[in-house]
Amino acid sequence: METIFSLLAKIMGDVITTSILLFMILGFPVSWLISELKNYDRRSRITRGIIAIISIILISIAFSVIDRLNYSTNYAIASKYLVEVTITQLEHGNTENVLSSFKKLQNEFHIQGGTPFKEYDKRVREAVFAMENKK
Domain tally for the chain?
A: 1
| pTM of the model as a whole | 0.56
Q: Write the CB contacts of 115 (distance below 8 Å, at least 6 apart in sequence).
A: 71
pLDDT at 46: 92
Q: What is the mean pLDDT of residues 45-71?
A: 85
Its domain, for residue 31, covers 4-133
Model pLDDT for residues 4-52, shown as the tens digit of each residue: 555 555 655 666 777 777 777 888 889 889 988 888 899 999 999 999 9
Higher per-residue pLDDT: 69 or 113: 69
pLDDT digits (tens, 9 = 90+) for 72-124: 787 888 888 888 888 988 898 888 888 888 888 888 776 666 555 667 778 88
At 40, is the secondary structure helix, strand, or coil?
coil
- Which of 105, 133, 135, 132 has its CA nearest to residue 121? 105
